[in-house]
């Protein structure tokens, strides 16, 4: 049986996360395995995989169920920030690398908006 490619696997994980119950998504070992898949994709040397990972993460981060989104934000947002900070030292050399950076920026903008939304609730 052929192994699914990284993007297909991430898509399947994201679909699973969107549709699973809170009890399922809260299972630590399952959560860790899913987060590790996203971490590996963020650190992929293939910018297409990185771009798709950012797109899928965006949908997980924006999910209305905070029990789903919050652990993923806490675990993966620092990696997103580090990846984008690295662009200063290592500028995109292709349109696919640029796409990955643009998708990463969208994720960061969403995280900032989510943080502001959260802060305004407690002000």
pLDDT of residue 83: 96
pLDDT value, residue 117: 75
Confidence of residue 81 (pLDDT cuts 50, 70, 90): very high
Number of residues that this document lists for the chain: 123
Question: Residues 14-73: pLDDT tens digits?
Answer: 999 999 998 998 899 999 999 999 999 999 999 999 999 999 999 999 999 888 999 999
Q: Is pLDDT above 90 for 122?
A: no
The answer to whether 34 touches 17, Cβ cutoff 8 Å, is yes
Residue 86: which pLDDT band, with cuts at 50, 70 and 90? very high
List, in order of start, the domains of the chain with CATH numbers. Answer: 6-121 (1.25.40)
pLDDT of 2: 52
């Amino acid at each position: 049986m052929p192994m699914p490619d990284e993007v297909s696997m991430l898509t399947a994980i994201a679909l699973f996360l969107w549709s699973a119950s809170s009890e399922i998504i809260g299972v630590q070992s399952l959560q860790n395995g899913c987060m590790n898949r996203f971490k590996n994709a963020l650190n992929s040397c293939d910018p297409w995989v990185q771009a798709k990972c950012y797109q899928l993460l965006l949908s997980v981060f924006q999910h209305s169920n905070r029990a789903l989104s919050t652990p993923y934000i806490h675990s993966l947002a620092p990696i997103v920030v580090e990846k984008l900070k690295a662009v200063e030292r290592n500028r995109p050399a292709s349109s696919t690398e640029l796409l990955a950076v643009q998708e990463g920026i969208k994720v960061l903008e969403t995280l900032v908006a989510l943080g502001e939304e959260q802060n305004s609730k407690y002000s």
